Chains A and B, each alone.
Chain A
Amino acid sequence: MKANDVILQTVTKVVSFIILSFAAYLFFAGHHDPGGGFIGGLVTASALVLLFLAFDIRTISNGIPINYRLLVGIGLAVSTVTAVGSIVLGFPFLSHTFEYVDFPLFGEIELATSVLFELGVVLTVVGGTLTIILSISEDV
Chain B
Amino acid sequence: MSWVHVMIVLPLLFAVFIPFLYKAFPKIHTGWFVLAVPVAIFGYLASFLPMVASGQTAMLEVPWIPYFDINFDVYVDGLGLIFALIISGIGALVVVYSIFYLSKAREALHNFYVYLMMFMGAMLGVVLSDNMIVLYLFWELTSVSSFLLIAYWYQRKQSRFGAQKAMLITVFGGFSMLAAILMLHNIGGTFSIQELIAQGDVVMQHELFLPAMLLLLLGAFTKSAQFPFHIWLPDAMEAPTPISAYLHSATMVKAGIYLVARYTPIFGGTPEWFWIVTGVGLFTLFWGSINAVKQRDLKALLAFSTISQLGLIMSLLGMGSAALYFGSGDDAAQIHLIAILAAVFHLINHSTFKGSLFMVVGIVDHETGTRDMRKLGGLMSIMPVSFTLALIGSLAMAGLPPFNGFLSKEMFFTGTLNAAQLDIFNVGTYGVMIPIVAWIASIFTFVYSIVLVAKTFFGKYQPERLEKEAHEAPLGMLIPPSILGFFVIAIFFFPNVLYEYVLHPMVNSIAPSIGPSLDYTIEAWHGWDAIELWMTVAVVALGLILFSTLKKWMWMNNIPQSMHLNNWFSGGIRRMERVSHKIIDFHMTGYIRDYLVYILITFLIIVGGSFFLTNSFSMQSDIGEVNLFEYALAFGLIGAAALVVITRSRLTAVVSVGVLGYVIALFFIILRAPDLALTQLAIETVSVALYLLCFYHLPKLRSREEEQGEKFQPFNFIVALATGTLITLIMLSVNDHRLFESISWYYEDAYELAGAANMVNAILADFRAFDTYLEIFVLAIAALWCFCAHTITLE
Chain A residues in the interface with B (C-beta under 8 A) = 26, 30-39, 42-43, 46, 69, 72-73, 75-76, 79-80, 83, 93-94, 96, 98, 110, 112, 114-115, 117-118, 120-121, 124-125, 127-129, 131-133, 135-140
Instruction: List the 6 closest pairs (A to B, CB-CB), nearest first.
Output: A98-B755, A128-B783, A34-B674, A32-B757, A131-B783, A42-B682
B residues within 8 A CB of A43? 682
Q: Which of B647-694 contact A (CB under 8 A)?
A: 674-675, 678-679, 682-683, 685-686, 690, 693
**CB neighbours of B776 from chain A (8 A):** 75-76, 79, 120-121, 124-125, 128
Name the one of B754, B755, B786 contacting A132, with C-beta atoms under 8 angstroms.
B786
A40 to B381, CA, bound (A): 106
The answer to whether A124 touches B675 (Cβ under 8 A) is no
A38 pairs with B782, CB closer than 8 A: no
B784 CB contact (under 8 Å) in A69, A133, A140: A69
Q: How far is the CB of B464 from chain A (nearest CB, A)?
A: 80
User: Chain A nearest CB: distance from B215 CB in Å?
Assistant: 54
Known: A98-B755, A110-B755. A83 touches B783 (CB 8 A): no
CB pair B790–A135 under 8 Å, yes or no, is yes
Closest residue of chain A to B674 (Cβ to Cβ) is A34
Tell me if B777 is interfacial: C-beta within 8 Å of chain A: yes
Tell me the smallest distance from the CB of A137 to a CB of chain B, in Å: 8
Verify if B70 is at the interface (C-beta below 8 Å from A).
no
Contact residues in A for B686 (Cβ distance below 8 Å): 42, 129, 133
Q: In the assembled complex, how far is the CB of residue A107 from the closest CB belonging to chain B, in whole angstroms? A: 16
- Contacts A42-B679, A79-B776 given: A36-B783 contact, CB under 8 Å? no
- Chain A residues contacting B777 (CB-CB under 8 Å) are 76
Bound-complex Cα distance A30 to B678 (A) = 12
Task: Check if B758 sits within 8 Å of A96, measured CB to CB.
Answer: no
9 A-B pairs (CB sep. < 8 Å): A31-B756, A36-B764, A112-B756, A114-B756, A132-B782, A135-B790, A136-B786, A138-B790, A140-B693
Query: B754 is contacted by which of A42, A80, A114, A127 (Cβ under 8 Å)?
Result: A114
Q: Which B residues form the contact surface with A (CB < 8 A)?
A: 674-675, 678-679, 682-683, 685-686, 690, 693, 697, 754-758, 760-762, 764-766, 769-770, 772-773, 776-777, 779-780, 782-784, 786-787, 789-791, 793-794
Asked whether, in the complex, the Cβ of A139 is within 8 Å of the Cβ of B755, the reply is no
**Is the CB–CB distance between A112 and B678 below 8 Å?**
no
Please judge, given known A-B contacts A128-B780, A135-B786, whether A96 and B791 are in contact too, CB under 8 Å. Answer: no
Most buried by A among B675, B757, B766: B766
Cβ of A124 and Cβ of B758 under 8 Å apart? no
The answer on a CB contact under 8 Å between B755 and A129 is: no
| A139 and B758 contact, CB distance less than 8 A | no
Q: Chain B residues near A33 (CB, 8 Å)?
A: 757-758
Evaluate contact between B769 and A83: CB separation under 8 angstroms.
Answer: yes
Give A102 to B169 CA distance when docked, in angstroms.
86
> In the complex, A46→B685 CA distance in Å?
10
In the complex, chain A residues whose CB is within 8 Å of the CB of B754: 96, 98, 112, 114
Known: A76-B776, A96-B754. A69 touches B787 (CB 8 A): yes
Is the CB–CB distance between B787 and A131 below 8 Å?
A: yes
Contacts of B675 in A (CB 8 A): 34-36, 39
Contact B682 A46 (CB under 8 A): yes
Given contacts A46-B682, A96-B769, 5 further A-B contacts (CB under 8 A): A36-B765, A79-B773, A110-B755, A112-B754, A114-B769
Q: When chains A and B are docked, how far (Å) is the Cα of A87 from the Cα of B523?
A: 91
Cβ contacts under 8 Å, A75 to chain B: 776, 780
**What B residues does A26 contact at CB under 8 A?**
678
CA–CA, A76 and B755, complex, Å: 24
In contact, A39 and B765 (Cβ under 8 angstroms): no
- Taking a contact as CB atoms closer than 8 A, the residue among A36, A79, A80, A128 that contacts B758 in the complex is A36
Decide: A72 and B780 in contact? CB cutoff 8 A: yes
With a CB–CB cut-off of 8 A, which chain A residues contact B762?
Answer: 114
A79–B685 alpha-carbon span in the complex (Å): 27
A112, B753: Cα distance in complex, Å: 12
- Given A120-B776, A125-B776, A135-B787, verify A96-B683 contact (CB < 8 Å): no
Asked whether A94 lies within 8 Å of B770 as measured between CB atoms, the reply is yes
A37 vs B679: C-alpha distance when bound (angstroms) = 10
In the complex, the answer to whether B786 meets A39 with C-beta atoms within 8 Å is no
Q: How far is the CA of A112 from the CA of B761 in the complex (A)?
A: 13
Interface centre among B761, B777, B782 (most CB of A within 10 A): B761
For B779, what are the chain A residues with a Cβ–Cβ distance below 8 Å? 124-125, 128
Q: How near does chain A come to B152, taking the closest CB pair, in angstroms? A: 60
Kindly provide the distance from the CB of A16 to the nearest chain B CB, expressed in whole angstroms.
16
| Contact for A34 among B685, B758, B780, CB less than 8 A | B758
Q: Is the CB of B786 within 8 A of A131?
A: yes
